[in-house]
Amino acid sequence: MKAINPSTQKDNDMTGSAGSPDATPTTLANTPGTALELSVGWVGLGDQGAPMARAIAEAGFELNVWVRREASLDALDGLPYVRHDTLAALGAASDMVGLCLREDSDVEEVLTDGGLLGSLRPGTILVNHGTGLPGYAAALAERAADVGVLVLDAPVSGGRPGAEARQLTTIVGGPSHALATVRPVFEAFSRKVSHMGAGGSGQTGKLINNALLMMNQKNVQDILALANNLDLDLGALTDLLLFGTGRSFALEALTGAVTTTNADHLKDLQIIDMDIFAAAMTSLGQDVTAIDTYARSGARGLPSAAHLIAGAPVSSTGSASGSPLGATSSCCPGASRTRKVFG
């Protein structure tokens, strides 16, 4: 950890403006200080990454950022941060670097082509908050260990609503002592931090969570179809189920976060998540054909379920509108994969 350097140049008293690209970071402290002395680097100010970064800055941590597009910095208006012109400069100034990017390939690009990995000092903790393959996470941890860098795979669940409410679930794989160091940072935007085990296990836990959500969606869809065939009042039935033992997030989401407007888009994103799940489980020697088939059916049926519910308004207050409890999520910086409402 390093103490915050008061001499680092920041415009407007650190209220959301760029700092000097030539600012020289202080060196690692010989002894640990308080958690707030961690200097946090951040790459990825997208739909979910931006509110996570805001939470970190608002919690009092020194925030270092690098962006491809100037407009991305608007998400940090009014908050203290230091902008760096290169990834290497950001890495050299940080005790921990969080990556909130779309895919493993994006992570690899900033680490290698961008020079981030080579700039990190021994003892730095590198955190990948995106959803990806467990095998890549484990391999990255091995590569980073060669230069003394610790890696945590820490995908998050809860989507933008969860990030804005500081209610994400952060699912972590990697060394427990590294997690202990950065846990206060995670707690700035999380209601739950779960340590799953060794490197890669955070991604495995996240992918299983994703698959279970879609399987639960399939259960809900089958019940709604049955009730519709029986000419039951779907609004009254849904109101009942939201408070009964059959309650699930998949049902709650259909009464709030999932709408007829966004259901098709969410379906497409869930299919992508299942592609990652299938590839990951196959690489780990698991036959998940039955799970994959059932979960994909739940993803594909989301639009029809949304239309059924839309025709049967629910009066209860037990919906998941804006809920931070959703399962699928990734840190998406751009419109090419706009993040799931309840992810």
Which of these, 317, 316, 294, 298, lies nearest to 306 by C-alpha position?
A: 298
Answer whether 83's CB lies under 8 Å from 19's CB. Answer: yes
Structure-block tokens of residue 107 = 């992570």
The H or E element spanning position 150 is strand 150-153
Q: Of the listed 2, 10, 206, 218, which one is catalytic? A: 206
Cα–Cα distance between 127 and 95 in angstroms, integer?
11
- The answer to whether the Cα torsion of 327, 53, 257, 260 is positive or negative is negative
Residue 183 token pair: 């846990």
Angle at 161 between CA 156 and CA 164, to 5 degrees: 85
**Roughly what angle, to the nearest 10 degrees, separates helices 134-145 and 201-229?**
160
Respond yes or no: is residue 206 known to be catalytic.
yes
Side-chain half-sphere exposure of 165, counting CA atoms within 13 A: 18
User: Residue 184's closest CA among 63, 56, 90?
Assistant: 56
Say which residue the tokens 């991604």 belong to: 203
Assigned token pair, 156: 């998050």
Q: Annotated active-site positions, please?
A: 206
